[in-house]
Amino acid sequence: MDTNGTMDHSETEKSRAQPAFDNVDITSPDDENENDIFESAIQEPLSPVLEDVPTDEAGDAFIEISVSDPQKVGDGMGSYLAYKVSTKTNILKFKKRQFFTMRRFSDFLGLHDLLVSKYLRMGRIIPPAPEKNIIGTTKVKMGSQPQADPGTGVNLEWIENRRASLERFLNRVAQHPVLCLDTDFVNFLESDQELPRSVNTAALSGAGVMRLFNKVGETVNKITYKMDENDPWFNDKINEVETIDANMQKLHSAIKALVTHRKELATLTGGVAKSAALLSTCEEHTGLSQALSQLADVEEKVELLRSEQANSDLYILSETIKDYIGLFGAIKDVFHERVKVFQNWQHAQMQLTKKRENKAKLELQERRDKLEFAQKEVEEWEGKVQRCQKEFDNISSEIKKEMERFELARARDFKSTIIKYLEDQMAHQQQQMKYWEAIVPVARDIA
């Protein structure tokens, strides 16, 4: 690493979080490394498909972002977790091709708020930021983990979940051909300076309370105001989004239940392994004792496999579904923003009608002293109506483009997710079959 925070390729590779387990190649006939546990199903960073983005090369634009090395900084309630954000890109908007910086969780939330404030009104779908975890954060703040020394990680499951979520958030933003060029996004990735403190992201701050009240108001508005939709595309798309979102939430709940079941099954399998091992020590029949001992070994290995299957369900399927539940929530926000723009347009039309009526009354009363002012008001509101109508047309058009891009990205994401999940499940089943097949001859040799 040089003094500017750049890094060479080898250092980039080392900085990535190492997988907790070695993956099993389902095409390999080897029986070696049977005790290796399967890789935790942490998905690879999303591969952005960026078109018409200026690059310094003749090929396609690319940007790869990894979030790694969560480190505790400080002590007590004033402490926080910082993450290493590493970037590789050929996009000309960035000054360097490889670089990294350190960012805290509130910086990610602050970036999301900035993007929402600038692009939601335009009809852009802003990927949601990961949710806060007050309980987990408090445990880290009050824990005894050391400060941010090299190689010191905080090995808590929720921190790994958050790290992966932050990485997916940044890569989803990077996939967007407009958001990836945003000045605040570029500065977030590239600047080695601390960002201004995002105080509005604090859950218990005054701004946080006001944000809660605003959300309540928005929810009430969504329920009480029904827009007379003239575009059948929006009617169909809104119904489609609602249906898919509802079924995704059901699927997410089912997968969570499956994860719980697999973990319980793994624990029970471990209990069987211990019981079989104890029984083998007191069994006088040599052949039977050996068979029970082998059974205990296999059950212990199967316990690890079932734990890994639970990880596969969680990190591949559950987290992907959870991300898309959040993305569908962002789509609903964009649709609601269009409704708000429509409300503004209707309000402007109502005001214009009132101003015209007022002008007509003044003309009937021959109040020439006020007619000039009334005419200016009419012209002012005519301009507002035109601007509001143009804004409504623009956001409607932009939403259609965003949805087209979103659907293409969603199909790619789910294809990759399903293939990865199937490969993991097949690998688990193959390894489990090898374990059981190895013990069959021992059982047959029992005299």
Is 40 inside any structural domain?
no
| pLDDT in the model for residue 148 | 38
Return the CATH number at 335.
1.20.1270.60
Is 6 inside any structural domain?
no
* Residue 353 banded pLDDT, cuts 50, 70, 90: very high
User: Residue type at 257?
Assistant: A
Q: What is the pTM of this model?
A: 0.78
Same-domain status, 254 and 337: yes
Same-domain status, 166 and 270: no
- Can you name the residues that pair with 88 across neighbouring β-strands? 64, 98
Question: How far out from the chain centre does Cα 433 lie?
Answer: 35
Question: How far out from the chain centre does Cα 374 lie?
Answer: 53
* Residue 54 banded pLDDT, cuts 50, 70, 90: low
Segment among 38-52, 158-172, 281-295, 358-372 with least mean pLDDT: 38-52
| pLDDT in the model for residue 45 | 46
User: Residue type at 339?
Assistant: V
Is 285 inside any structural domain?
yes
Is 80 exceeded by the pLDDT of residue 71? yes
Number of domains in the chain: 2
Same-domain status, 374 and 270: yes
Structural domain for 175, as ranges: 47-145+154-192
Same-domain status, 65 and 170: yes
Is 29 inside any structural domain?
no
**Does residue 244 contact residue 328 with C-beta atoms inside 8 Å?**
yes
Report pLDDT digits (tens) over 274-287.
999 999 999 889 89
| pLDDT in the model for residue 40 | 38
| CA atoms of 315 and 309, how far apart (whole Å) | 10
Segment among 29-43, 127-141, 172-186, 396-410 with least mean pLDDT: 29-43
Torsion from C-alpha of 231, 237, 238, 239, nearest 10 degrees: 110
**Does residue 128 contact residue 327 with C-beta atoms inside 8 Å?**
yes
Classified as helix, coil or strand, 70 is strand
Same-domain status, 295 and 386: yes
Nearest residue to 409 (alpha-carbon basis) of 67, 116, 179: 179
Q: What one-character DSSP code corresponds to residue 4?
A: T
Is 329 inside any structural domain?
yes
Q: What one-character DSSP code corresponds to residue 23?
A: -
Is 325 inside any structural domain?
yes
| pLDDT in the model for residue 21 | 33
Is 70 exceeded by the pLDDT of residue 5? no
